[in-house]
Structure 1
Amino acid sequence: MDPDGLADVERVPHGGSDDRDLVDFSANTNPVRPAGVADVYEAALADATRYADGFDDFRAAAAEYVGRESDDVAHGTDRDDHGAHHGTDDAGCTADDVIPTAGGLAALRLAFGVTVSPGDRVLVPEPSFGEYAREIRLQGGDPVGVAHGELLDRDPADYAAAVVCNPNNPTGELRERDALDAFRTRCRAVGTPLVVDEAFLDFTDAPSLAGEPGAIVVRSLTKMFGLPGIRAGFAVAVGDLGDRLRTARPTWALSTPAAAVGTHCLRQTDFVERTRERVAGERTRMREALSERYAVAPSDAPFLLVDVGDERADPDAAVETVLARARDGGVAVRDARTFERLDSHVRVAVRRPHENDLLLDALLDR
Structure 2
Amino acid sequence: MRNARIVGALRSLEESVLSRQGMGLPLLAIAVVSVTDLAAGRDHYIGPGMVVAPALASITTTWLRTLLVAALGLASQVLLAPYNGVVEIHDWVLLTGQFTTYLVVSLFSAYIAWRRETGQRAFSAITSVAEAAQRALLRPPGDRVGDVRLAVRYVSAADAAQIGGDLYSVLDTPHGVRALIGDVRGKGLDAVQTAAVVLGAFREAAYDEGGLTRVAQRVEASVQRHVGTGEFTTALFVEFDGPGSVDLLHYGHVAPLRVAADGTVTTLDPPDPWVPLGLGALVKGVPAAWQAPLCGTDVLVLCTDGVIEARSAQDGSFYPLADRVGALVAGLAQNLETAVERVYADLLRHAGGSLGDDVVLLLLAPAAPTPLPPTA
TM-score range, shorter chain: under 0.3
Task: Give TM-score, length-normalised by structure 1.
Answer: 0.26
Structure possessing the higher relative contact order (Cα contacts under 8 Å, 6 or more residues apart): 1
Task: Give TM-score, length-normalised by structure 2.
Answer: 0.25
